[in-house]
Structure 1
Amino acid sequence: MDHTQILQTLQNNIPTEIWYLIPLFIVAAVIKSPWFKGRAGETVVNLSAKLWLDKTRYHLIKNVTLPTQDGTTQIDHIIVSRYGAFAVGTKNMKGWIFGNAKQRNWTQKIFKHSQKFQNPLHQNYKHVKTLQSLLGLGDDQMHLLVVIVGDSTFKTPMPENVTYGGGYIRFIKVQTEERLADAKVQKVIEAIDSGRQAVTIKNHRKHLRM
């Protein structure tokens, strides 16, 4: 039996009302998928940057994959300015979140269920070091930010560079000491553009396998 026959058989045996519900089930499944949640988090960061950061002073670069000695590292967003370069990672979570800057693992609690997950600051540390090596930046010129999106609540005091949604904008704006000359800002942007891998499905899948 070929695909046409299978489809015809399904159409003859499934009530018409059910067919109308199938697209809704597909949409619901997509919305709940990790891919969609990740995209939603990235959209929050992108929109906040476009609305609240001056484009003449802050330069947003999205979805950057860079080569490393043992594969690749992926950075959701890099914001380059005279106040330094900001590596921004997004994490979609729900429930109560417990942790601090020094703990290797943090805790997520949803109702009575608790589970450990890697401290996102530690998880993104590799990104920062890769960037510093590529761009020739010092520790005082590089900032790491983690943005939590989703229905979650911090139940312990969090480091100032771990924020909800668009709250990361406040962290960036309080950095007022000039750390990069305008010429260096442009060189950093050019180095990222020349060093990054092309944004393709193939490269994304390759990164996930590493």
Structure 2
Amino acid sequence: MDYFSQIIGGFAVYWWLVPVVLIISFSQSPWFKGLLGEFLVKLTAKLRLPANTYHRVHNVTLPAADGTTQIDHIFVSRYGIFVVETKYMKGWVFGGEKQSQWTQKLYRKSYKFQNPLRQNYKHLKALESALGLSPDVIHSVIVFAGDSTFKSPMPANVTCGGGYITYIKSFTKPVLSEASIHNILSKIGSLRLKSSWKTDYQHVQNLRARYDSAANRQCPKCGGSMVLRIAKRGATAGNEFWGCSAYPKCKTVQNVTK
């Protein structure tokens, strides 16, 4: 038997390993984990949040000054609007409300990721601006799906698993009329970009452009790197600006070119 025949024979015996390896690799990808986390949130909401009280809108991409912003889940009810950011993670999670980066610790390895509260803050401001609503009726909710454990004190709106349901249901005072709810849902439907592969791809390209710009920007005063921040107070609340990473030592700021 020649060498080529041996290869063919070996493949005939072990061909099933190819799809197994592909499936394992696919299941470990960030894209798949993101989809799984969003699916778990959708399923829990469907089972535990009455559809006639909490109107569900998923995977909403809205135009923004710097490209697009993508919201995982929006729940509209007479008790307010709940904007949900999903993270699918395993292991220990360390972080604080005011920290720019949080840490995931898994099997003795540590990984940094953006503070999801800050990430979701931009979503809230985009929705607030698009709908013309008071910030008092829009609430940020963070959901960690997967086998993760908080190792730092977290605010009530940062939850694990189905804990976000309890947080949403803790709001019991009506703040929106049925007419307002109908108008809000209609406006979201008219403003959102069509849910498609093309929309998702363009959103990723917008994110890359923003972060590439951030990586190459230096502070003209001290030479440090400039980072994107979001104004939380004053007339510019919700707008992004460039701030020096050496703050508070260096307070250089620059406007974001739109």
The TM-score normalised by the length of structure 2 is 0.75
Question: SS at the partner of 1:124?
Answer: helix
| Corresponding residue number in structure 1 for 2:30 | 34
Q: Give the number of the structure whose residues are more often helix, by fraction.
A: 1
Which of the numbers 92, 104, 107 marks the counterpart of 2:103? 107
1:125 partnered with 2:121: yes
| Corresponding residue number in structure 1 for 2:249 | none
Question: SS at the partner of 2:68?
Answer: strand
Cα distance, 1:65–1:10 mapped onto 2, change above 3 Å: farther
Cα distance, 1:9–1:130 mapped onto 2, change above 3 Å: farther
Higher mean C-alpha deviation, range 108-117 or range 188-197: 108-117
Question: SS at the partner of 2:85?
Answer: strand
Distance in 1 (alpha carbons) for counterparts of 2:180 and 2:99? 35
Question: SS at the partner of 2:15?
Answer: helix
| Corresponding residue number in structure 2 for 1:12 | 8
- The unaligned stretches of length 5 or more in structure 2 are 207-258
1:96 partnered with 2:88: no
Distance in 1 (alpha carbons) for counterparts of 2:6 and 2:101? 49
Give the % identical residues: 50
How many Å apart are 1:110 and its aligned residue? 2.2
- Whichever residue aligns with residue 35 of structure 2, its letter is R
| Corresponding residue number in structure 2 for 1:203 | 199
Question: SS at the partner of 1:77?
Answer: strand
- Whichever residue aligns with residue 187 of structure 2, its letter is A
Distance in 1 (alpha carbons) for counterparts of 2:188 and 2:169? 22
User: Once the two structures are superposed, what CA deviation does each residue of 1:118-150 show, in whole Å capped at 9, x if it has no partner?
Assistant: 211011111000000011111110001111112
User: Once the two structures are superposed, what CA deviation does each residue of 1:67-122 show, in whole Å capped at 9, x if it has no partner?
Assistant: 01110000011000001111101011222111121222222222433333221101
How many Å apart are 1:154 and its aligned residue? 0.4
- Whichever residue aligns with residue 193 of structure 1, its letter is G
1:75 partnered with 2:75: no
What is the count of residue pairs matched by the alignment?
203
Alignment of 1:126-205 (within 5 A): 126-205=122-201
Question: SS at the partner of 2:162?
Answer: helix
RMSD over equivalenced CA pairs, Å: 1.7
The TM-score normalised by the length of structure 1 is 0.91
How many Å apart are 1:15 and its aligned residue? 2.9
- The unaligned stretches of length 5 or more in structure 1 are 1-7
| Corresponding residue number in structure 1 for 2:253 | none
Distance in 2 (alpha carbons) for counterparts of 1:179 and 1:10? 73
Distance in 2 (alpha carbons) for counterparts of 1:132 and 1:67? 13
Cα distance, 1:11–1:194 mapped onto 2, change above 3 Å: farther
Distance in 2 (alpha carbons) for counterparts of 1:126 and 1:144? 10
Distance in 2 (alpha carbons) for counterparts of 1:191 and 1:132? 12
Cα distance, 1:184–1:9 mapped onto 2, change above 3 Å: farther
